[in-house]
Structure 1
Amino acid sequence: MRLQTLYTLKFFNPANYYFPTRNDISYTCNLPVGSISTSLANCLRPLSSAERIGVEANILATGITAFQLPMVASPGAIANASVVTLMINIIPPTPPPIYQVSGRIFIDRFAWNDVASSANTGFAINITVYDKTGAYIGAASTNMDGKYALSLLRGETYKIVFQIPDTHISTGTATTFFAFESAIYNIGIIQKANTGKTLRNFDPVSFAVSCFVVGSRSGPNADLPAMVSISANAVGNGYDASGSKFVTKLSKHFQVGAVSGIVYEPTSRNLYASALWKYNADFGPAGPCGIYMIDYLELDGSGANSIYADLSIIFGDNNYCGPQKSHNFTDRYQEAAMNMAGKMSFGGMTTDYRFLYVANLYRREINVIPLFETPNAANVRSIPVPNPGCADARDWRIFAVTFDHGALYVGGVCSGEFGGAQSMGTYVLRSSESKWQIVVSFPLTFARGCTNYDGGKCDPAEWSPWRAGLTQQPQLSGIYFNTKGRMILSFRNRIGDNAKGINPALDMLILCLDITGNWVLEYNGKCGKVAGYTQSRFGPGGGHFFNTELIGTHQYASSLFTAHAGSNDLIVSSGYDYVDYYTGSLRWFNASTGQVVKGFQVYNSGAGVGGFDKTFDKANGLGDIAPIYPASAINQCGLFYTGRVWNDTNGNGIQDAGEMGISNVKVIMGSPHPSTCITDQNGYFTFSGKSSSPHAVYITINELARRLTGPYKLSPKSECDADVTAFGYQTSLTSPAFGGYYFNKFLFGITWK
């Protein structure tokens, strides 16, 4: 700021003077010595409107301000004709208050939508900005690394359109953003040629399966296989000459011990396996908190197996996964071991191809472990899984964990150990924006048949509360979503981890979405209107969808775990006794009919074959199943169908800047893959799907009534593409050969009447 002489005046009392008006200047003046006037207010003042009347129009033209040099407080202090110097005070203009929207547009190599990944490079695009009236404000461009920063006037809202080229699509973030405050907004994109294919569009070439080995990892069975891969073409028996060609040994007992949760990461071709507590099956070298990595390309070489993470070391807590660090292989120890089954070490494990998510049974939490950086205390985090409704919180026992449509699902049971048999039940929870939502709950009191009925005698299979005994005790071990959007639950039996030579009754149940988007358990062998295997008179509603029987002997020989097996809704499950007794077996099911397609027996503990001193016969002898996909499946991603529910304030059917999204609305994709999601704080929702298929997305009347207070109506069609139907609001489209980000299709504008 500097002072500069602008005008020199002679004082005549009173007199009018006229000066330019500018936003970046203010006026002050210097008065003769002895003057008592010291400020602009006492030197010059603007004329009032009345005083300006009669002044020549050309004097008061635009850019002119009139001032009067008034009488001073003490007459005579400034004599007529005294010289008064008017000064201009040049002030740098005050910038208007702003907020900033910045971020990065990047090539999303693995469709992770993760801007932080070092695998992702920036991508340059153009950006257009509009105000709340729809008027064009300006344009900008990202730099060559895809970064941008927009400065916007505070208090104003803007519509920002990111101009993604026709050759690319977004991998899950809206390409139109509504700004009203500072934000970081990143968009991952991928070439259309790499879309439309998820791993489930490919048939697995094989399956990694864990096999539990009896005894110490340094004992006589140390070199027996603890994990194998089974060819998708497998038939017969893995222990016969004709069937052994379908089995490849991956890990030995001394290398990994008892492991269950298995994950295949296709870009690195690595397998990951988590420790499991099982009576008389030793831990691996990392103990109960161990995660192992197996280089699938190296197969059976000793260098292929390594400890990927030991959480007890990472967190400096020897009891992080439970108090029992090793096994004592004596009968005296069995009762104590029975009490630990399902309560310590790890359960299931899954991945979003950025992190491993493993169920910590001891802490009732999900441990999240990075895949592409060395795990440490700073980057391994934990997500507690709260008791969803067990009568006694001590009865809440998690195990199952999976991902579907970008959401994390965790399943468990109310064990009844403290709350009693009538309190036993199953829960599946979904994590959304760091909050858990119950999506499935049902009691475990329905009638079950016979775990064994050989010779006409029925050994009852009813679920019993957990205890240190050999009754049938449920563990929800697997959650699987098939290609038609149905949920399949696998149930291990806890007694299979407590003893050998027994007949644990497993189970396999299916749930379908109803028109309101809620999961409904099979009833009388039917999932909705789809009938499965209905010969059994037991199960929910007196029937059973899946044929889990070994006819004439066992009614519940499957499923320990379930995995995707191929096209045409084919799944594979682990269990026992496909044909022969005392075998660990895989069964392939048609998930649309519940019928068995084929089977493969991995091992046989029978006398003269495998030996009861090596494998665990029927007693949960197999663990988790991980599909292994061909190399051509790498770097493929699904399609993202996205929309928004918003408050269409002016009712024009267009998303204008300043019109807020409506959060916490349940939106349902009804076909071809029924699923649900919840709108986020800005009203956005995203589904993944397949190309060249009709898709319908709707919001039910009941959901609208739950979330909104009326009266309201659906906006007219413009950007809003929804129709009013008998059950709610619905949008639909048929995707092109290459799908993409249909931001301007699945839109629901809500206008209040």
Structure 2
Amino acid sequence: MWNKTILKHWQPLGLGALLLSSPSVYADISGKVFRDFNANGVFDTGASFKEMGMVGVTIKAFDATGAEKASATSGVDGTYTLNIADSADYRVEFSWAQSWLKNGSAGGTSVQFVKGDASNVNAAVSNPADYCQADPIVSTTYFWPLVQDTTNPTLVGVPYSAGVTAPSAEAYKLSSWQDVAPVTFGESKQLGAIFGIAWNRKDNYLYAAAMKEQYVGFGPGGRGQVYRVKINPADGSAVSAPEAWVNLETDLGLSVCGSHGDLANAGYSDAEFDQVGKCSLGDIEISDDNKSLFVSNLTTKQIIEISTADGSKLNTFDFPLNAVDCPNNSTTSIRPFGLSYKDGKLFAGAVCSAEESKDANDLRAFVYRLDNPASKTWTRVTHFDPGVVRENQYETGKTSWEAWRSAWTDAGGYYQGYESPMLSDIEFYGDDMILGLRDRTGDQIASGIIIKGTTINGVATRGDVLCASYDATNETYTPETDNPNACGSHLASGVGRGDGNGEFFWGDGNTSASSHEEITMGNLAVFGGSQLMVGGVNPAYPFGAETANSGGILWLNNENGAPLKTYYLYENSAVSNNSKGNGMGDLEALCDPAPIEVGNRIWQDTDGDGIQDADEAGIDNVDVTLTCGTETATMKTANGGQFLFSNKTNATFMEADESCKITVAAAQAPLDGLSITTQNADGILDNNPVTDLRDSDATSTGEITFTAGSAGENNHTLDIGYKSIPVVTTDVSLVKVADKSEAKRGDTVVYTLTAANAGPDTATGVAVTDQLPAGVTWVSDDSSGAYDKTTGVWTVGELLKEDSKVLHITVTVN
């Protein structure tokens, strides 16, 4: 009996089209790398919100063979050009050295596939600490002199979108400048005097630090207390009352001088007067990862690093006391206060107070950067005379700062002022630095107090806002006191004011008269892309209006220094008594955690090497599933095989540091004729979002396991390659013969089955079905178990070209 079967198997090669059609002419590959502060993937340049280019990013183009063909570095505006000589296919890779810089959300990813004539090949990058939603709550503090133990609001919040440019009713009415009521987070009796505040966006805690503010007094925790309150940033409501979180003095055992009682109605003393700016706490700042809170201890001139997890002391950094910073070579006169944290680095500011020499010419301001926390190495990054661009002071007529003094010596009366600087706050707009200088006298006296028998009926204090431009060559900052055009060119367009020197942020005072030209309180806030927010005295002055003896927030344009809008927090009354003094503390935007996004591409690996080559197309319309725990989300690939899951949009369940997986089911039409390509062909196994860029990461079953990053740590390197199942041609035959042509009952018969493959390819998975005929009984076979006598299936397995296998089956005739 002959039984010949010829089996042939084939699959189509290739699918999809090239990503971009070829034009008749070519141009270089070009685009922009930008800092995407709001994580929308778009380079925003609006009036109230503006993003900027990212300098120093390396961009490389690789051809279809994997050879590097061009390289460039993004310029100061983020633009770049790759010099390409043809319009062929290229893989473009973006890379950077800064560990704090992450792939942006929604924008072009760090690996893109384009033609050699492509433009607008953009890439979004971000520091997660810069992210903020469109309209966050902005928190601040304000003081209630002489009325300490009250329910008056002390820690409050208002929307960033609040504020007006003109009064809606009478110019002198508070309601004319307050378009929405502030939300109270903490009261005077719960907190006392507060300056420094910091926001933990990971745990939704707002921290607030005690301050020595004469005639206001400390809160229940005293001079070394850091408070915290939990807030719902969605609606700006306080989840809990303020709690005494960590006390530097009683919990950490640190020296914090000052009078613990310091009641608001205490009488004047030289000792209390002189403690301002020297005792208790100054500015506070939180690290980019929200794990550390840095507190400026004015007493010991140290910055204390505290764990936000348990309140323990992690480190102590001595502020650099370098005599060369002060003209009189006095380290005693160095008075630190302001802090900032930018791109993984801590910045701390101070002034030379000239309190020993009593010579205003000895005043200086400077900022240090902590470059190595382990060795506690600091680098001075800017140093300047704060009085060079000082404007006219209302009532006093002064255009300079005064040396710090230890006692009040002036006569009483209205609008008393003696301007002496504290470098109270540091912020950044892009790479440029913004400095807040606070008038110390505004924290030493208050309206209505009696000093040495004389009543102070009004206070006139003036802070300042200065800027310093970044010098990338030296990694330092050039202050506008040294270069009037350091942070802008408004002087060139004729907007100089006051003493003729002018300032970049010229909108921090009256724009139509030679008075009230310095109205700020040294408290600043900038979140990614936003305009500068400062606290100001009578903050409607820049708009030609006034609510007498009031205070609030003033918005200034980071592009030209102009005033944008104002919001009034308070006006003079029997309970505030702030007059035109320092009535407010720090400002802080309550930003959400940055989104977490994962993706990126499913592609056809034409050459089957497991690496994404420039000419290998993506596969669209493939269903991709993200699973974290028991929750899942599914989306289809598009735009060249791309897929992206974000916990802000289509995968809200994905949490930071959570174990997740990406899966792709095999039975999908776009994947017909394809199978998973080689996994981890480049030898990188960890799915690292920075280094694991080009290979396929999936197992043979289409699964990638990974751990989601921290907030804003996006992973755009989860790629899956598919190769074509090759065409297989075989010629498999089966021959069956018996050793007897005739047999009677009881005879033994041996069947011989021969399976052969004439090629040209190897046959795999060969199986033969051969049921025994009726009238015989199986006795044995030599298949070693490969033959099933019940089903009659002989599992042959693999047959090489020109190879054969033989099976003998012994039966008896019934």
Report 1:714-733 matches (<5 A): none
> 232, 252, 256: which one pairs with 1:321?
256
Kept in 1: contact 2:146–2:265 (CA 8 A): no
Amino acid at match of 1:589: L
Equivalent position of 1:200 in the other structure: 130
Amino acid at match of 1:429: Y
Amino acid at match of 2:555: W
Q: Aligned with 2:180: secondary structure?
A: helix
Kept in 2: contact 1:413–1:476 (CA 8 A): yes
> 247, 254, 265: which one pairs with 2:200?
265
Q: Aligned with 2:524: secondary structure?
A: strand
Q: In the aligned structure 2, how far is the partner of 1:540 from the partner of 1:326?
A: 46
Task: Output one character per residue of 1:242-276: Cα deviation in whole Å (capped at 9) or x when no partner.
Answer: 83634111110111111111111111111001111
Report 1:728-739 matches (<5 A): none
> 228, 231, 246: which one pairs with 2:159?
231
CA 1:273/1:622 → structure 2, altered by over 3 Å: closer, same or farther?
A: same
Residue 505 of structure 2 corresponds to residue 548 of structure 1: no
CA 1:328/1:478 → structure 2, altered by over 3 Å: closer, same or farther?
A: same
Deviation at 1:600, TM superposition (A): 0.8
TM-score normalised according to structure 1 size: 0.54
Deviation at 1:288, TM superposition (A): 0.7
CA 1:247/1:188 → structure 2, altered by over 3 Å: closer, same or farther?
A: closer
Deviation at 1:304, TM superposition (A): 2.7
Report 1:417-436 matches (<5 A): 417-421=355-359, 422-433=361-372, 434-436=376-378
Residue 378 of structure 2 corresponds to residue 448 of structure 1: no
Q: Aligned with 1:386: secondary structure?
A: coil
Q: In the aligned structure 2, how far is the partner of 1:446 from the partner of 1:423?
A: 12
Equivalent position of 2:347 in the other structure: 409
Report 1:282-681 matches (<5 A): 282-297=217-232, 303-316=240-253, 320-330=255-265, 332-352=267-287, 353-372=290-309, 374-376=310-312, 379=314, 381-387=316-322, 389-390=325-326, 391-421=329-359, 422-433=361-372, 434-446=376-388, 448-452=390-394, 459-467=397-405, 468-469=407-408, 470-483=417-430, 485-500=431-446, 501-514=458-471, 516-517=473-474, 518-522=476-480, 525-527=484-486, 530-531=489-490, 535-538=495-498, 541=501, 543-550=503-510, 551-552=512-513, 553-565=515-527, 567=529, 570-579=531-540, 580-605=547-572, 611-630=573-592, 633=594
Report 1:146-165 matches (<5 A): none
Kept in 2: contact 1:279–1:498 (CA 8 A): yes
Q: In the aligned structure 1, how far is the partner of 2:229 from the partner of 2:336?
A: 26
Amino acid at match of 2:203: S
Deviation at 1:527, TM superposition (A): 2.0
Q: In the aligned structure 1, how far is the partner of 2:131 from the partner of 2:163?
A: 23
Q: Aligned with 2:332: secondary structure?
A: helix
Residue 145 of structure 2 corresponds to residue 214 of structure 1: yes
Deviation at 1:451, TM superposition (A): 1.2
Deviation at 1:445, TM superposition (A): 4.5
CA 1:392/1:740 → structure 2, altered by over 3 Å: closer, same or farther?
A: farther
Q: In the aligned structure 2, how far is the partner of 1:528 from the partner of 1:170?
A: 26
Q: What value does the CA root-mean-square deviation take over the aligned residues? A: 3.6
Q: In the aligned structure 2, how far is the partner of 1:339 from the partner of 1:280?
A: 13
CA 1:636/1:243 → structure 2, altered by over 3 Å: closer, same or farther?
A: farther
Amino acid at match of 1:452: Y
Amino acid at match of 2:565: K
CA 1:401/1:196 → structure 2, altered by over 3 Å: closer, same or farther?
A: closer
Q: In the aligned structure 1, how far is the partner of 2:245 from the partner of 2:154?
A: 17
Task: Output one character per residue of 1:572-614: Cα deviation in whole Å (capped at 9) or x when no partner.
Answer: 1111112222111211111110001111111111xxxxx1432
Q: In the aligned structure 1, how far is the partner of 2:238 from the partner of 2:131?
A: 31
Deviation at 1:628, TM superposition (A): 1.3
Q: Aligned with 1:292: secondary structure?
A: strand
Kept in 2: contact 1:216–1:282 (CA 8 A): no
Amino acid at match of 2:283: G
Q: In the aligned structure 2, how far is the partner of 1:529 from the partner of 1:189?
A: 30
Q: In the aligned structure 1, how far is the partner of 2:499 from the partner of 2:480?
A: 9
Deviation at 1:423, TM superposition (A): 1.7
Q: Aligned with 1:254: secondary structure?
A: helix
CA 1:413/1:173 → structure 2, altered by over 3 Å: closer, same or farther?
A: closer
- Over the matched positions of the two proteins, sequence identity in percent amounts to 21
Kept in 2: contact 1:560–1:620 (CA 8 A): no
Q: In the aligned structure 2, how far is the partner of 1:167 from the partner of 1:542?
A: 45
Q: In the aligned structure 1, how far is the partner of 2:370 from the partner of 2:315?
A: 18
Q: In the aligned structure 1, how far is the partner of 2:486 from the partner of 2:270?
A: 40
Q: In the aligned structure 1, how far is the partner of 2:185 from the partner of 2:93?
A: 41
CA 1:559/1:427 → structure 2, altered by over 3 Å: closer, same or farther?
A: same
Amino acid at match of 1:283: F
CA 1:545/1:534 → structure 2, altered by over 3 Å: closer, same or farther?
A: farther
Q: Aligned with 1:409: secondary structure?
A: strand
Deviation at 1:296, TM superposition (A): 0.8
- Consecutive unaligned residues in structure 1, runs of 5 or more: 1-165, 175-186, 606-610, 638-736, 742-753
Kept in 1: contact 2:258–2:280 (CA 8 A): no
CA 1:216/1:581 → structure 2, altered by over 3 Å: closer, same or farther?
A: closer
Kept in 1: contact 2:163–2:179 (CA 8 A): no
Deviation at 1:215, TM superposition (A): 2.9
Amino acid at match of 1:198: P
Q: In the aligned structure 2, how far is the partner of 1:519 from the partner of 1:171?
A: 21
Q: Aligned with 1:326: secondary structure?
A: coil
Kept in 2: contact 1:334–1:498 (CA 8 A): no
Kept in 1: contact 2:368–2:380 (CA 8 A): yes
Q: In the aligned structure 2, how far is the partner of 1:349 from the partner of 1:636?
A: 31
Task: Output one character per residue of 1:495-548: Cα deviation in whole Å (capped at 9) or x when no partner.
Answer: 100112211121111111346434212157522663368644457945554321
Deviation at 1:562, TM superposition (A): 1.4
Amino acid at match of 2:384: F
Kept in 2: contact 1:267–1:635 (CA 8 A): no
- Consecutive unaligned residues in structure 2, runs of 5 or more: 1-91, 111-123, 168-172, 409-416, 447-457, 541-546, 599-712, 718-814
Kept in 1: contact 2:537–2:551 (CA 8 A): yes
CA 1:250/1:436 → structure 2, altered by over 3 Å: closer, same or farther?
A: same
CA 1:274/1:584 → structure 2, altered by over 3 Å: closer, same or farther?
A: same
Kept in 1: contact 2:439–2:521 (CA 8 A): no
Task: Output one character per residue of 1:472-507: Cα deviation in whole Å (capped at 9) or x when no partner.
Answer: 100111111102x21111100001001122111211
Q: In the aligned structure 1, how far is the partner of 2:524 from the partner of 2:477?
A: 19
CA 1:513/1:297 → structure 2, altered by over 3 Å: closer, same or farther?
A: closer
295-304 or 509-518, which deviates more = 295-304
